[in-house]
Structure 1
Amino acid sequence: MADHQDNAELLRRWRLILGRYAQPLQGEAWSAQDGRLDASLDYLYGREYERKGMLRGGSAGAGGSLDPSQLRAIDWLNQARKLFPQEVYERVQGHAIERYELSGLLRDPSVLASLEPNQALARALIGMRGRLSANMTDAVRAIIRRVVEEITERLRKDFVNAVTGRRNRFRRSQINSAQNFDWRATIAANLKHYDTASARMVIARPIFNARVRRSLPWDVILCVDQSASMMDSVIYAAVVAGILSGLPAVNVRLVVFDTSVVDLTHLASDPVEVLLTVQLGGGTNIGRAVQYCEQLVVNPQRTVMALISDFEEGAPPGPLLASLKRMAESRVTLLGLAALDERAQPVYDRGMAQRLADQGMHVAALTPQHFAEWLAEVMQ
């Protein structure tokens, strides 16, 4: 009996995955609710058949009370919200906007306000910003702000802990955090509590290092590629600039570029305004941007220049490499942060990355959390 139920559930799932061209299910294996799920999925993912030249006509077994040919995008969105768990709904919503370009969802402020704010939606809004009507501005700003706040909340602690102070092994702290835990001193102080019977050491007094604030300021220049492929990296770079701008003893310069260079330092403390200002798209001239950043260096030995890019240089690389060489020789700390896609997978030109490394740049593909640790290491 159990095997029969398992097989029926497996068939049902495959039927929902394969869609209209799968063999129809009958009886208890296919309920009215399954029909509604199938119709909702077919409204969106049936577009794959259209792309491949297959007709979107009806088919036996599609079932359900929602006719995909009659279902408008906004009605479909409301239905999907009720039909699917929250995690599934957010993924389906992202596919609708990004992959299948149901831009009708983004034309009505009330509909936009009803969408689940997430990074996929923020990417779509930033990319479509120039094509949205004026009455959408407030709704777009509100969604981007909520996404920025969520990312900031997630990253702020990492940057504050990593960048504002290094561990002081000679002063102890009452603040008990895993990052400050001194395991060597703790073992030494608690050896007398070793229990020979159980072969275990009882930690009666854990020891934590204090953290000291740096008094000498660091200049951090964030040089951010805003070409079309850099959407996720631009979002994170804007948030990182906002966090760093609020830290003591860190002076932030924010520069974005494609074939042109724009200095957004005056907006660095407000990631929302940065994202509403950037113009994604166009070519890439990394050399021009790096040469501009070179002019911003005042105290080379206490300057970090972080290039956030996929390193797909569209201009001759000579000026870029020469500028990096000059900065490296003057002891500017050069970091190359390779682009990551939405799944945190590195996407960059490895050949160019090696050429940058040969000029003295430290290149890595890091998540924002690891970027915070990296900054802390070079700013010791």
Structure 2
Amino acid sequence: MKPLPELDLQERWRLLLGEAAAPSLGACGATAQGMDQALAWLYGRECEGGQASDRLDRHGGDEASSLTVPDWINAIHTLFPKETVERLERDALERYGIDELVTNPEVLQRATPNPALLQAVLRTKHLMNPQVLALARQLVAQVVKELIDKLATQVRAHFSGKRSPHQYSPRGSSAQFAARTTLQRNLKHFDPASRRLVVQQPRFHVQHRRQLEPWQVFLLVDQSGSMLGSVIHAAVTASCLWALPGIKTHLIAFDTAIVDLTDHVGDPVELLMQVQLGGGTHIAHAVGYAAERIEVPRRAIVVLISDFYEGLPEALLINQVRALTAQGSKVLGLAALDEQADPVFDRELAAKLVEAGAEVGAMTPGQLAGWLAEKLN
């Protein structure tokens, strides 16, 4: 789990005293400003008679930024330590009655499914009663389906095969259409009077299907709270890979414990509903768990999705990665796996893993599919 941001003494007093102290103490930095906004959103309603004025579907106002309930939930899980998050959630539910996301079925029914709301649901599902949890599962399914539909197209494109540069067919899909060759073959049908080209002989690239030897792909996912976006996309990616012939996909979530979710790879909704966020990070244990399950070392890829803030001695992880690469297995470390691919990670440990033979970067799910297709072929 990545370390929490550090605040200087002035910022701490500013957070303690609230907005009234701004003229004396000045503005906060970006992190403290986010904390101040999250705290003001909750405790600022003391001036409003304790009423929860911000509802899930409410927007507007003159302030710089108006948080919705899902926005607030996602923000506090990013900005505050676990103990503080639990206190804030308890105050929101018990002190101010802000319970619409976890207790009110009508709110979930009218909510617009989107990735931010999906993250908020996964962070609060442990607070939901059975009726709300059932609705939340439907919402998760809808967002996951949209993510899979988008990624599956990219996965098929990467794994569909290579184009032959000199072979063409009169039939094919729009993605295989050979525009230049078609134009050259049909120039004789150009009508100068109407200035139109009549295409009588369309040509399409011939795709040679890739023949894959059996491979094992291990997706090891850090399930600390800061990695939730990557957890979601890892589940979706695993589901898409699971449908491909010749690839045996393993999905393993970890914090200080290890949860093998491989049996649920074909059902990403069930998989996400089982994820337990939080806790420390023992990356070496997860890598060791995967190493023990490798069948053919030279046909195994270990994809480690983590912020690389290791809770165990770093030497354990570095030695394991060195052993994996020495036996011919490929190791890819991902500091982020989401649409933004905007990582925050321990760069020093990542550099040491590169020295041990790993490749380290940040990717979108589509880029990961392309990288895997390249390595598997």
Query: TM-score under structure 1 normalisation?
Result: 0.71
Larger Rg: 1
The counterpart of 2:100, out of the listed 95, 100, 105, is 105
Q: Deviations over 1:193-222 (max 9, x none)?
A: 8x9xxxxxx997665241413242221111
Task: Name the structure 1 match of 2:11.
Answer: none
Q: Secondary structure at the match of 2:324?
A: helix
**1:95 correspondence with 2:71:** yes
**1:138 correspondence with 2:127:** no
Taking the TM superposition and a 5 Å limit, the aligned residue runs for 1:248-287 are 248-287=245-284
Taking the TM superposition and a 5 Å limit, the aligned residue runs for 1:31-50 are 48=37
Q: What is the CA-CA distance between 1:181 and the residue it aligns to?
A: 6.5
Measured in 1, the distance between the counterparts of 2:158 and 2:353 equals 26
Taking a change above 3 Å as real, the CA distance of residues 222 and 181 of structure 1, as seen in their structure-2 partners, is farther
The counterpart of 1:154, out of the listed 150, 153, 178, is 150
Task: Name the structure 1 match of 2:216.
Answer: 219
Q: Please tell me whether the aligned partners of residues 254 and 268 of structure 1 are also in contact (alpha carbons under 8 angstroms).
A: yes
Q: Secondary structure at the match of 2:209?
A: strand
Q: Secondary structure at the match of 2:363?
A: coil
Q: How many residues align?
A: 311
Higher RCO (C-alpha 8 Å, min separation 6): 2
Q: What is the CA-CA distance between 1:371 and the residue it aligns to?
A: 1.0
The counterpart of 1:346, out of the listed 334, 343, 346, is 343
Q: Please tell me whether the aligned partners of residues 253 and 264 of structure 1 are also in contact (alpha carbons under 8 angstroms).
A: yes
Task: Name the structure 2 match of 1:36.
Answer: none
Q: Secondary structure at the match of 2:138?
A: helix
Q: What is the CA-CA distance between 1:71 and the residue it aligns to?
A: 6.6
Q: Deviations over 1:124-146 (max 9, x none)?
A: 11111222223322011111111
Task: Name the structure 1 match of 2:13.
Answer: none
Q: Please tell me whether the aligned partners of residues 337 and 362 of structure 2 are also in contact (alpha carbons under 8 angstroms).
A: yes
Taking a change above 3 Å as real, the CA distance of residues 79 and 314 of structure 1, as seen in their structure-2 partners, is closer
Q: Please tell me whether the aligned partners of residues 148 and 240 of structure 2 are also in contact (alpha carbons under 8 angstroms).
A: yes
Task: Name the structure 2 match of 1:165.
Answer: 161
Taking a change above 3 Å as real, the CA distance of residues 172 and 360 of structure 1, as seen in their structure-2 partners, is farther
1:155 maps to a residue whose letter is: L
The counterpart of 2:370, out of the listed 348, 369, 373, is 373
Taking a change above 3 Å as real, the CA distance of residues 51 and 176 of structure 1, as seen in their structure-2 partners, is same
2:105 maps to a residue whose letter is: P
Task: Name the structure 1 match of 2:110.
Answer: 114
- Identical columns (%): 34
Deviates more, 1:343-352 or 1:166-175: 166-175
**1:360 correspondence with 2:369:** no
Measured in 2, the distance between the counterparts of 1:292 and 1:169 equals 43
Stretches of structure 2 that go unaligned for 5 or more consecutive residues are 1-33, 77-88, 93-97, 191-196
Taking a change above 3 Å as real, the CA distance of residues 315 and 57 of structure 1, as seen in their structure-2 partners, is closer
**1:306 correspondence with 2:295:** no
Stretches of structure 1 that go unaligned for 5 or more consecutive residues are 1-44, 59-67, 196-201
Measured in 1, the distance between the counterparts of 2:70 and 2:126 equals 20
C-alpha RMSD over aligned residues: 3.6
Taking the TM superposition and a 5 Å limit, the aligned residue runs for 1:310-321 are 310-321=307-318
Measured in 1, the distance between the counterparts of 2:163 and 2:357 equals 28
Q: What is the CA-CA distance between 1:171 and the residue it aligns to?
A: 4.4
Measured in 2, the distance between the counterparts of 1:331 and 1:343 equals 31
Q: Please tell me whether the aligned partners of residues 341 and 347 of structure 1 are also in contact (alpha carbons under 8 angstroms).
A: no
Q: Please tell me whether the aligned partners of residues 73 and 104 of structure 1 are also in contact (alpha carbons under 8 angstroms).
A: no
Measured in 2, the distance between the counterparts of 1:378 and 1:247 equals 15
Measured in 1, the distance between the counterparts of 2:204 and 2:325 equals 39
Measured in 2, the distance between the counterparts of 1:346 and 1:192 equals 51
Task: Name the structure 2 match of 1:234.
Answer: 231
Q: What is the CA-CA distance between 1:57 and the residue it aligns to?
A: 8.8
Measured in 1, the distance between the counterparts of 2:244 and 2:159 equals 8
Q: What is the CA-CA distance between 1:167 and the residue it aligns to?
A: 3.6
Task: Name the structure 1 match of 2:40.
Answer: 51
Measured in 2, the distance between the counterparts of 1:49 and 1:216 equals 51
Measured in 1, the distance between the counterparts of 2:376 and 2:362 equals 19
Measured in 2, the distance between the counterparts of 1:229 and 1:263 equals 20
Measured in 1, the distance between the counterparts of 2:38 and 2:307 equals 33
Measured in 2, the distance between the counterparts of 1:228 and 1:245 equals 26
Task: Name the structure 1 match of 2:30.
Answer: none
Query: TM-score under structure 2 normalisation?
Result: 0.71
Taking a change above 3 Å as real, the CA distance of residues 69 and 321 of structure 1, as seen in their structure-2 partners, is same
1:95 maps to a residue whose letter is: D
Measured in 2, the distance between the counterparts of 1:298 and 1:171 equals 38
Measured in 2, the distance between the counterparts of 1:187 and 1:342 equals 36
Q: Please tell me whether the aligned partners of residues 219 and 305 of structure 2 are also in contact (alpha carbons under 8 angstroms).
A: yes
1:129 maps to a residue whose letter is: K
**1:128 correspondence with 2:124:** yes
Q: Deviations over 1:104-161 (max 9, x none)?
A: 2211122212111111111111111222223322011111111101111111110122
